[in-house]
């Protein structure tokens, strides 16, 4: 009798299950890698490239064709002229050549030495061009009767031109200048400081405000559902709508809030909330708190409603006062959700771009790292530097998520 | 804190703070409603509030006549403040007497009635910790409702009212949000102009179908993926589940740059097709994460019964899992719809052609010095109202969906 041993490795059923799982996941994996992983790699690649916004259009040869000499009747002489130029002023194009179809009824008299004619097909090899190069090809022709009969238009057949231009995105030219540039001077540290201020205070503020709102609504009364819905409004509304409203409300010249402050005698003259340091940074942080307290509120409220009320009754019997109950019972119970929320919100506040971009455009000391990506890439038109900032952001993100996952595995066994 | 344990300390303190809050609230409400000037005076409001807090304390075994005498004597304090400084609420020269009267009546009602409730359990003399804290909590609760409602309502009120006014009026008096109802349909002039001149009807439609397509494509990808992660056993499941979370933490701005470059080169900028291609991928990780949480909570016995009866896995998903998870699907759909509807960054970077704008991109276009601001606000209202209606109608699903593992914002 042979010994029975447990089977080694995955059995056929298990393999089938795994195959099915990967099959179900495949569309997600493919699409996510296309739109997330690939761009991430691209960001790393670009961050080492000397590339500006203008380089996105690679240099191309451009050709214009016209017929000179105004032939009036059969037998007249004319010149077919091609004017060519390099679209880029500083980059070379190699191996430029173009082909064109000769119009019907034209006989070539003299051909440019660089061109060959095969039937009606004209091919010209123009060699290598420097940046900003211009060239001209002239072909002397006589016009036959057929040209007038068919009313042929030499410009009807567009010449096809090709050239091998180096694309700075795909060549092997690398530079460390982008990183040198963004770390250069004190600017980077100002940006990092603004980012940290915004992230830390935005996150903590939203958590505290959310905690208070949750405490308010953690009892059932008429209108509780309505208030809960109302308090979620800032989060649900499109950021662009609420950001512009805030800008308008706090406008120094015609903003209602400033008018109110002046009228109530709190300030003498209107305050430029989004235009002066360091108030602008404080205000975008306040906006962030305002917009995201509903989220923490919702999570904390959900957690509060799942706390066993027996505990509070026991504490009440033992004579604990309301504040004591809050500190000794509620806070420890909520600590888990609060810390998870803190980590998650910290990461997402760090990543936030739209809000600051819409409120101040990154001016008046509110330029955070994410706004700096946009600023470098599009305002200064240096895509490479923008990508370098993006790489820095991604590095920070990896650091945060390391802490996050370490913490989450303790907290939720994820 | 010890000193607070006396009714005659806590009562006036709460009264003073509450009256100050209410004086500010009354002034802000009436100013915003009528455009006339009204200002609270902190010192006087505190003084009259402290006196009221004292006067409204329960009797607590005090001699009745003495109590009335002391209270009446202390009225000197607020009176002095009113005379020496100014009354708790005062208006400017143009403020109408009627408005001032209304303000005072409102202030009196909003102070006296709640204050009675707050101080109900507080004794005059030494109070227990319980009694003091209960009174303080009542005060903080009242203050909390007012504070949160104010910070939420005011911006939306200003948004709607500004869209109905015209720019000259607002520059003249930024506080005046009264609208002239007699102009009839003319009141909504900026809205009609938005739809007639700025093509907002088409933006609304574009935003709508882009969002719906995003929801459909997201579900198509995320449902099978979520099911696989939640139910099937395969190597690398934990790693996969983590990488989903990680991916959904990657900031959009980091990805937007290469996407912009790729779209520029592929000629996909300025095309709705490109937008519809990119939006779902930003929402798939969120949806997958939310759905797998829900699928895990479903009893697997039902599915196993289906498998035993000869259904294939896919048939089980289609016939058992999906019908059971309709509420979760609704939440996820709503959430994804909201993300797609509110999305700004990609639309802003990838769309330049005004005929193809989404609503958020259209509103961004209105932010120019040549376009009056009521148009900008009207555009904001147009962008906000549909998502709000959807949200209010389906709030139950939405709150559930938001808490189901999605903290993205």
Domains of chain A: 59-165 (2.60.40.1170), 185-381 (1.10.3720.10)
Q: How many domains does chain B have?
A: 2
Query: What's B186's DSSP letter?
Result: G
> Region A359-376: what's the mean pLDDT?
88
Asked if residue B78 and residue B32 are part of one domain, the reply reads yes
What b/e sequence results for B260-282 when a residue is b if at least 16 CB atoms lie within 10 Å of its CB, and e otherwise?
Answer: bbbbeeeebbbbbebbbbbbbbb
pTM > 0.80: yes or no? yes
Residue B163 located in a structural domain: no
Please compute the mean of the pLDDT values over residues A138-164 and round it to a whole number.
76
- Is the pLDDT assigned to residue B279 strictly greater than 80? yes
User: Residue B247 falls within a domain, yes or no?
Assistant: yes
Q: What angle do CA B384, B389, B393 make, to 5 degrees?
A: 150
- Give B55: exposed, middle or buried? Use CB within 10 Å, 0-12, 13-18, 19+: buried
Domain boundary among B107, B127, B153: B153
For position B400, what pLDDT does the model report? 65
- pLDDT surpassing 90 at residue A141: no
Residue B136 lies in a domain: yes
Residues B284 and B379 in one domain: yes
Tell me what the mean pLDDT of segment A20-32 comes to: 87
Q: Which of B153, B175, B198 is the last residue of a domain?
A: B153
- Which pLDDT tens digit goes with each residue over A216-264? 988 888 888 888 888 989 999 999 999 999 999 998 888 888 888 888 8
How far is the C-alpha of A243 from the C-alpha of A237, rounded, in Å? 10
Residue B409, domain member (yes or no):
no
Which distant-in-sequence residues (6+ apart) come within 8 Å of A278 by Cβ? A365
Same domain, B390 and B271: yes
Which among B225, B387, B398 is the nearest to A238, CB-wise? B387
- Residue B297 lies inside a defined structural domain of this protein: yes
Q: Please check whether residues B140 and B51 belong to one and the same domain.
A: yes
- Chain B contact present for A147, CB below 8 A: no
**Between β-strands A93-101 and A61-68, what pairing exists: parallel, antiparallel or unpaired?**
unpaired
Same domain (yes/no): B214, B363: yes
pLDDT tens, position by position, B103-115: 899 999 998 899 8
Phi, psi (deg, nearest 5) at residue A63: -130, 145
Q: What is the pLDDT at residue B5?
A: 79
Q: Round to whole Å and give the CA distance between A378 and A364.
A: 18
Same domain, B199 and B61: no
Q: Which residue of A has its CA nearest to B378?
A: A241
What are the tens digits of pLDDT across the range A189-225?
A: 889 999 999 999 999 999 999 999 999 988 888 888 8
Q: What percent of chain A has pLDDT over 90?
A: 19
pLDDT single digits (tens) B180-204: 777 777 788 888 888 888 889 999 9
pLDDT one-digit tens code per residue, A43-66: 888 888 887 777 777 677 888 888
Question: What's the rounded Cα separation, in Å, for the pair A352 and B258?
Answer: 18
Q: Does B161 map to a domain?
A: no
Verify that B211 and B111 share a domain, yes or no: no
- H or E, element range at B330: helix B326-342
Between CA B361 and CA B354 the distance in angstroms is 9
Share of chain A above pLDDT 70, in %: 94
pLDDT in tens, B314-369: 898 888 888 888 888 888 898 899 999 999 999 998 998 888 899 999 999 888 88
Range of the domain at B9: 2-153
Asked if residue B183 is part of any domain, the answer here is: no
Q: What is this model's ipTM?
A: 0.91
Read off the tokens for A403: 């802490």
Is residue B159 situated within a structural domain?
A: no
- Residue of chain A with shortest Cα separation from B409: A348
A1: contact with B, CB 8 A cutoff? no
pLDDT of A154 strictly over 80: no
Residues B375-390, mean pLDDT to the nearest whole number = 91
Q: Reply yes or no on whether the pLDDT at B406 is more than 60.
A: no
A323 touches chain B (CB under 8 A): yes
**A295 inside 8 A of chain B by CB:** yes
Where does a domain end: B92, B124, B153? B153
Q: How many CB atoms lie within 10 A of CB A335?
A: 11
Asked if residue B69 and residue B18 are part of one domain, the reply reads yes
The angle at the Cα of A11, spanning A10 to A12, to the nearest 5 degrees, equals 125
Identify from A10, A19, A21 which residue to disrupt to test chain B contact, counting B C-beta atoms within 10 A and taking the largest count: A21
| Confidence grade of residue B87 (pLDDT, cut at 50, 70, 90) | confident
Q: Could you tell me if B113 and B214 lie in one domain?
A: no
> Is the torsion defined by CA of B387, B391, B394, B398 positive or negative?
positive
Query: What residues contact residue A414 under an 8 Å CB cut-off, 6+ apart?
Result: A405, A408, B241, B242
Radius of gyration of chain A (CA): 35
Asked if B149 and B194 sit in the same domain, the reply is: no
For A275-298, how does the pLDDT look when each residue is reduced to its tens digit (9 = 90+)? Answer: 888 899 999 999 999 999 998 998
Residues in A touching B339 (Cβ below 8 Å): none
Is A31 near chain B, with CB under 8 Å? yes
Give whole-number Cα distances, B372 to A212, B167, B402, in Å: 38, 6, 36
Whole-number Å distance between alpha carbons of B263 and B276: 13
My answer on whether B32 and B141 are in the same domain is yes
Q: Residue A414 and residue A411: Cα distance in Å, rounded?
A: 8
Torsion of Cα atoms, B347 then B353 then B356 then B362, to 10°:
60
Predicted confidence (pLDDT) at residue B170 exceeds the cutoff of 80: no
Residue A265 touches partner B, C-beta closer than 8 Å: yes
pLDDT at A269: 87
- The answer, yes or no, to whether residue A1 has pLDDT greater than 60, is no
Question: Which residues 219-258 on chain A approach chain B with CB closer than 8 angstroms?
Answer: 225, 227-242, 244-246, 248-249, 251, 253-256, 258
pLDDT computed for residue B409 by the predictor: 40
Higher pLDDT, residue A367 or A116: A367
- B206 with B326, same domain? yes
**DSSP H stretches of helix in A218-330:** 224-231, 233-236, 239-249, 256-263, 279-305, 309-317, 322-325
Strands A121-129 and A61-68, sheet pairing: unpaired
The DSSP result for A36-72, as a single string, is IIHHHHHHHHHHTS---GGGGS---EEEEEEEES---
Q: What is the CATH classification number for the domain harbouring B302? A: 1.10.3720.10
Residue with the bigger pLDDT between B34 and A289: it is A289
């Amino acid at each position: 009798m042979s010994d029975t041993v447990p089977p080694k490795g995955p059995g056929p059923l298990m393999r089938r299950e795994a195959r099915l799982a990967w099959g179900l996941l495949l569309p997600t994996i493919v699409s996510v890698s296309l739109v997330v992983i690939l761009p991430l790699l691209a960001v790393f690649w670009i961050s080492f490239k000397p590339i500006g916004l203008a380089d996105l259009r690679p240099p191309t040869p451009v050709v214009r064709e016209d017929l000179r000499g105004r032939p009036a009747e059969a037998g007249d002489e004319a010149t077919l002229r091609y004017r060519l130029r390099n679209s880029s002023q500083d980059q070379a194009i190699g191996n430029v050549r173009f082909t064109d179809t000769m119009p019907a009824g034209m006989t070539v008299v003299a051909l440019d030495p660089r061109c060959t004619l095969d039937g009606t097909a004209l091919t010209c090899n123009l060699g290598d061009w420097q940046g900003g190069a211009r060239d001209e090809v002239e072909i002397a022709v006589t016009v036959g009767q057929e040209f007038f009969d068919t009313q042929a238009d030499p410009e009807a057949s567009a010449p096809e031109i090709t050239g091998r231009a180096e694309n700075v995105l795909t060549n092997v030219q690398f530079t460390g200048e982008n990183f040198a540039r963004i770390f250069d001077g004190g600017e980077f540290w100002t940006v990092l400081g603004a980012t940290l201020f915004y992230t830390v205070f935005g996150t903590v503020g939203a958590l505290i405000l959310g905690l208070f709102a949750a405490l308010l609504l953690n009892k059932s009364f008429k209108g509780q559902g309505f208030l809960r819905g109302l308090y979620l409004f800032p989060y649900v509304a499109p950021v662009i709508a609420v950001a512009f409203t805030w800008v308008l409300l706090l406008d120094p010249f015609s903003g209602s809030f400033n008018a109110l402050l002046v009228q109530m005698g709190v300030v003498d003259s209107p305050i430029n909330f989004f235009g002066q340091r360091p108030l602008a940074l404080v205000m975008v942080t306040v906006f962030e708190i305002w917009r995201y307290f509903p989220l923490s509120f919702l999570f904390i409220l959900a957690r509060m409603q799942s706390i066993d009320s027996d505990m509070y009754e026991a504490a009440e019997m033992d004579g604990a006062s309301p504040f004591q109950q809050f500190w000794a019972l509620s806070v420890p119970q909520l600590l888990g959700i609060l810390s998870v929320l803190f980590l998650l919100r910290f990461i997402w506040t760090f990543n936030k771009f739209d809000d600051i971009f819409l409120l101040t455009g990154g001016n008046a000391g509110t330029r955070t790292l994410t706004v700096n990506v946009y600023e470098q890439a599009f305002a200064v038109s240096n895509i490479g530097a923008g990508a370098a900032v993006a790489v820095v952001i991604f590095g920070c993100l990896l650091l945060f998520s390391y802490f996050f996952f370490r913490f989450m595995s303790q907290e939720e066994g994820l | 804190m010890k000193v607070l344990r006396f009714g005659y300390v806590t009562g006036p303190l709460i009264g003073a703070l509450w009256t100050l809050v209410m004086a500010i609230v009354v002034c802000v409400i009436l100013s915003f409603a009528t455009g006339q000037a009204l200002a609270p005076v902190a010192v006087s409001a505190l003084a009259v509030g402290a006196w009221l807090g004292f006067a409204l304390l329960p009797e607590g075994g005090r001699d009745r006549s003495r109590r009335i005498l002391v209270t009446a004597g202390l009225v000197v304090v607020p009176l002095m403040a009113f005379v020496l400084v100014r009354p708790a609420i005062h208006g400017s020269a143009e403020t109408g007497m009627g408005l001032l009267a209304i303000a005072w009546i409102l202030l009196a009602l909003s102070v006296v009635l709640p204050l009675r409730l707050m101080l109900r359990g507080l004794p005059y003399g030494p109070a227990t910790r319980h009694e003091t804290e209960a009174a303080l909590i009542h005060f903080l609760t009242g203050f909390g409702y007012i504070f949160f409602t104010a910070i939420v309502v005011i911006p939306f009120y200003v948004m709607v009212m500004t869209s109905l006014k015209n720019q000259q009026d607002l520059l003249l008096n930024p506080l005046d949000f009264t609208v002239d109802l007699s102009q009839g349909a003319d009141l909504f002039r900026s809205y009609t102009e938005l739809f007639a001149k700025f093509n907002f009807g088409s933006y609304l439609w574009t935003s709508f179908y882009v969002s719906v397509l995003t929801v459909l494509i997201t579900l198509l990808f995320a449902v099978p993926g979520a099911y696989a992660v939640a139910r099937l056993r395969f190597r690398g499941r934990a790693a996969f589940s983590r990488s989903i979370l990680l991916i959904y933490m990657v900031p959009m701005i980091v990805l937007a740059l290469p996407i912009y470059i790729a779209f520029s080169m592929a000629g996909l900028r300025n095309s709705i097709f490109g937008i519809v291609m990119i939006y779902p991928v930003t929402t798939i990780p969120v949806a997958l994460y939310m759905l797998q949480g829900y699928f895990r909570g479903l009893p697997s016995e039902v599915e196993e019964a289906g498998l035993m009866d000869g259904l294939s896995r896919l048939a089980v998903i289609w016939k058992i899992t999906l019908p059971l998870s309709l509420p979760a699907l609704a939440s996820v759909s709503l959430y994804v719809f909201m993300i797609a509807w509110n999305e700004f960054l990609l639309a802003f970077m990838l769309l330049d052609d005004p005929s193809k704008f989404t609503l958020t991109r259209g509103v961004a276009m209105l932010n120019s010095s040549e376009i009056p601001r009521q148009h900008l606000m009207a555009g904001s209202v147009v962008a906000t109202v549909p998502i709000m209606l959807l949200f209010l109608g389906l709030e139950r699903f939405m709150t559930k969906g938001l808490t189901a593992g999605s903290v993205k914002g």
